[in-house]
Amino acid sequence: MHPELHDGLLHDEAYRDADHRRLGQPDSGWGVRDHSSAVTIVRRPHNESIPMAELLLGRLRAVLRPGTRVGFLEPDFRAPLACVAYLEVAGRPELLPLRMWGCAINDLYQANRLSPAVGATLAAALETAGYRDVRASWSECRSDALMLENMRMVYDEVGDQLQTLGILTAEEIQRQQQLLKTLPAEGLPAMWRTVGVAGVDPGRGAMAC
């Protein structure tokens, strides 16, 4: 990794454990392809696991080779909650456990100083940082019995943290898991989506945020 990016990020305590220190290493989540005339950097999920991911995007641009293309694939579970909330108050109260799950995971991310909404704001962050030719698209993930099972499993994995942080009690977690188990899998709204964003670094001479 470029020393300026390394030092600028890692002197911040919140970044000390983030895996972007290992830019380009096979297990880092970052892919780097050097085509001599241009470099492509692809970040697989999850930028949301980095505190204040927007800072990373800006500092990354400061050390990129002009013409470097960057791409990110990130999950987004907050924007879909707007649809869940509407449907719940419009006559589908059985969707309560979907809303509760989304809110609980959001609260957990924030309590751990993570970035729960980075997928939805990546394009705006790249444009603000001065990247050009920014493009974004998204696709909904499927909503079915497997999704509900995964949501119950998440409660199993992070239940202790939810209790320790005062987000949900053990009884509330058990109740939400039961509601998810009995929720019909047909006709459910999407609970998360995948956001893809790409842009190009125009060079440090073309600034300007």
Q: pLDDT tens-digit profile of 88-131?
A: 999 999 999 999 999 999 999 989 888 787 888 889 999 999 99
Question: Where along the chain do its domains lie?
Answer: 1-77+117-141+192-202, 80-114+144-186
Of 9, 11, 10, nearest to 57 by C-alpha is: 9
Q: Please, what sign has the CA dihedral across residues 55, 117, 17, 40?
A: negative
Q: Output the pLDDT for position 52.
A: 77
Strand order in the sheet with 132-140: 30-34, 39-43, 69-76, 193-200, 132-140
- Residue 16 makes CB contacts below 8 A (sequence gap 6+) with 10
Residues 62 and 92: their CA atoms lie apart, in Å, by 48
The residues that bridge with 43 in the sheet, in sequence order, are 30, 72
Q: Comparing 137 with 12, which gets the higher pLDDT?
A: 137
The residues that bridge with 33 in the sheet, in sequence order, are 40
Residues 80 and 102: their CA atoms lie apart, in Å, by 9
Q: pLDDT tens-digit profile of 140-156?
A: 988 999 999 999 999 99
Residues 188 and 131: their CA atoms lie apart, in Å, by 37
Q: Output the pLDDT for position 74.
A: 85
Residues 87 and 191: their CA atoms lie apart, in Å, by 13
Q: Where are the beta strands (DSSP E) in the chain?
A: 30-34, 39-43, 69-76, 132-140, 193-200
Q: pLDDT tens-digit profile of 50-83?
A: 677 888 888 888 888 888 888 888 888 899 999 9
Burial of 208 (0-12, 13-18, 19+ CB in 10 A): exposed
- Residue percentage of the chain with pLDDT more than 70: 73
pLDDT mean over 30-59: 59
Distance of CA 103 to the CA centre of its chain: 15
Question: Is residue 42 predicted with pLDDT exceeding 80?
Answer: no
Residues 95 and 86: their CA atoms lie apart, in Å, by 10
Confidence class for position 203, pLDDT limits 50, 70, 90: confident
Q: Output the pLDDT for position 6.
A: 37
Average pLDDT, the chain: 80
